[in-house]
Structure 1
Amino acid sequence: MQSIHRRLFSLFRLVVPGLVALTAFAGAAAWAQSDYPTKPVRLVVPYPPGGFTDILGRLVAERLTPILGQPVVVDNKGGGGSTIGTSIVAQAPGDGHTILLVALEFAVNESLIPGRLTYDVRKNFTPVIRAAYSPMVLVVHPSVKANSAQEFFALAKSQPGKITYASGGSGTGSHLAMEMLKTRLGVDIVHVPYKGNGPATTDLIGGQVQSMFLQYAVAKPHIDGGKLRVLATPGGKRSAAMPGVPTIAETAAAGFDVNPWFGFVVHSATPPAIVSRLNAAIAQVLKQPDVEKRLLAVGADPTVTSPKEFADFIDAEIVRWAEVVKTSGGEGGIAQFFVRPDPSETATGPPASTARASSARAVPPSGSRRRGRPSG
């Protein structure tokens, strides 16, 4: 009996210190997560200033700061169809102090340029929340002789290679939408990619390019001011913010539906407790009446999801766009228009030489041509 007692006592001496250490470690980890954030939070927006992502990112950062108790700083890292900024967050520590604002391209790039990405959307990131939908509109310079999408594409068909369209960069939603329509309708409209919607919009207003799919939030003041003409929206149904604007599905291509979405993700190593904290904090921001009012005023539709709901949504989007790329002919179809980032684009942004709007054009991909009046 005494032998058994001695063995039990020896086992107790071996096990208890380990349990105490494990409990202490778990407690320390829980304390660290409950104390989050311990320093300023970096919100990477993988697009240049001037688009809806910048509007959304700065609005959320401003309202998150008092909720989290630490400054939330927006860091625009545009270029490469959002891949440059996304790569930066994929390499950042998984401690919740670096957040990434993502859009449609986050899911689309998985199929368009799978061998060129330095990250894996599913493996390297944890979804936090889907924040909003923001409809695009097809807009043209007032000099274009078309008052509807049907008239615009008829004009493009009658003048192959003469009409140009701008995008915020190869691989962006505006690029994808027009390339899908070009394939669907059999028209030759020349792509002029830019390093962001800001410089693209400037050249569109100046007449250097003739058309573009642009977020309504960015296009609205120029439409109201008569500098741009709106023809249609590519969403599956009319937007509540612009009920008088028809859809492309109604006027030019039945069943066409491209509705840009936006959300937030973090590195996949981020502890679940921090992911939950960020989800609750961003949801709190989006539910603030004045925030909702500001987003609705620019045509955006705020949404609030759980991390799992957003993860499931991204998975479904990856599958959806993979099918689009496949049916478009894969590398010989839409995918051929999505290229490697312009070598002049770096993680710190475009070089100083791109300060002028006309110089902010990205190197056109194979199959794209640059037309229109030189901007000087």
Structure 2
Amino acid sequence: MTIARRTFLASAAGLAALPAWAQDWTPPRPIRFVVPFAAGGATDVVARVLADRMGEKLGQPVVVENRAGSGGNIGVENVVRAPADGTVILMGTTGTLTINQHLYNNMGFDPVRDLAPISMAFATDHVLIVGPNVPARTAQEFIAWLRENPGKASFGSAGSGSSTHMVAELFRSAAKVEVTHVPYRGSAPALNDTVAGNVQFMLDQLPSAIGQIQGGRVRALATTGPRRTAQLPEVPTMKEIGLPDAEATSWGAVMAPQGTPAAAIARMNAVLREALADPAIQARLVAAGADAVSSTPGELSQKMVQEAATWGRVVRDARITVN
């Protein structure tokens, strides 16, 4: 299954179209930028890059705050319940915005109903990584090893229902292997345990895994995007190793509590689109393994609806449940 990547790059005309009534909006106090996962993961990396630029343009500090747990639901609910005055925003993800609603019966909030879209922020591939104790050197050898040892290998994720869980489930299904899921409170601790050998593999987002790959502490065997990534040009795609149904990309988007003033939404959208069109910002994200992606609030709203339907089918077909 392929999760299509759609890129909405800002144009000069779009930036100039900021309504006059929104041009003068400034946050009344510093902005809390909630990341619903532990520090060090892909979502956190991108949020910190954008927070610096947003603070410069909006005239107030933008402070990243990590609130991990429950597959990201704890952080999202913190934003949903926050004052809708433009001083609290969320770095939402594929999982928190379009997957969790199909996994948790009592979330207490609805991402579509209770959050206001601001802009897309990034898209990233996942990468199949194995720890140093795994004997396989190629993806094909790894799959053969898993099949020879059914139920003995485990994989880490950022939490039940996170993108790192769901993409790994796609891999499990496509490769027809029996493995055990071990959820963590964020990608960083899951990655640490992969390095330590406490779990055998992970399908992490590229931005959070690239440092450990380049440092030789884990081995990259395949990436999940439609083409090879520039950061790991020697690593084949899932399609190239014979698993086209394991192809997927993840994305992140900036959201606010529903009811946030339109002027605040418009101003922050303009700041984000300008930042994401900046070659320097794009280079920083590429270096971290992510592609800069921006959108209008309306485009983001449409994407959320489309992907919620797509991942809902995946959850039902694979009978995925949270632990």
Question: Same fold by TM (over 0.5)?
Answer: yes
C-alpha displacement of 1:195: 1.2
Counterpart amino acid of residue 135 in structure 2: K
C-alpha displacement of 1:299: 1.9
Contact 1:165 1:189 in 2 (8 A): yes
Equivalent of residue 216 in structure 1, options 181, 206, 209: 206
- Can you give the 5+ residue segments of structure 1 that lack an aligned partner in the other structure? 1-29, 339-364, 366-376
Match of 1:314 in 2: 304
Alignment of 1:106-117 (within 5 A): 106-113=97-104, 115-117=105-107
Name the CA distance, whole Å, in 1 between partners of 2:198 and 2:315.
Answer: 30
C-alpha displacement of 1:181: 2.5
Name the CA distance, whole Å, in 1 between partners of 2:181 and 2:314.
Answer: 20
Name the CA distance, whole Å, in 2 between partners of 1:246 and 1:152.
Answer: 14
Match of 2:91 in 1: 101
Counterpart amino acid of residue 87 in structure 2: H
C-alpha displacement of 1:293: 0.9
- What are the superposed Cα offsets for residues 186-238 of structure 1, whole Å, 9 maximum, x if unpaired? 31112221111111111211222211111222222222221111000122332
1:61 aligns with 2:51: yes
Counterpart amino acid of residue 194 in structure 2: L
Contact 1:81 1:169 in 2 (8 A): yes
Alignment of 1:242-321 (within 5 A): 242-321=232-311
SS of match in other structure, 1:198: helix
Farther off after superposition, 191-200 or 239-248:
239-248
Name the CA distance, whole Å, in 1 between partners of 2:89 and 2:262.
Answer: 14
Name the CA distance, whole Å, in 1 between partners of 2:22 and 2:309.
Answer: 37
Q: Which structure: larger Rg?
A: 1
Counterpart amino acid of residue 111 in structure 1: H
Contact 2:21 2:263 in 1 (8 A): no
Name the CA distance, whole Å, in 2 between partners of 1:150 and 1:248.
Answer: 10
- What are the superposed Cα offsets for residues 116-163 of structure 1, whole Å, 9 maximum, x if unpaired? 211111110111100111211000012212122222122111101111
Greater strand percent: which structure?
2
C-alpha displacement of 1:300: 0.9
Match of 2:40 in 1: 50
Name the CA distance, whole Å, in 2 between partners of 1:103 and 1:136.
Answer: 14
SS of match in other structure, 1:101: strand
SS of match in other structure, 1:177: helix
C-alpha displacement of 1:31: 7.9
Name the CA distance, whole Å, in 2 between partners of 1:94 and 1:169.
Answer: 28
- Can you give the 5+ residue segments of structure 2 that lack an aligned partner in the other structure? 1-19
Name the CA distance, whole Å, in 2 between partners of 1:163 and 1:252.
Answer: 21
Name the CA distance, whole Å, in 1 between partners of 2:153 and 2:172.
Answer: 12
TM-score by length of 1: 0.77
Counterpart amino acid of residue 40 in structure 1: P
TM-score by length of 2: 0.89
**Paired positions, count:** 303
- Structure having greater relative contact order (Cα 8 Å, sep ≥ 6): 2
Contact 1:130 1:264 in 2 (8 A): yes
Equivalent of residue 30 in structure 2, options 40, 48, 65: 40
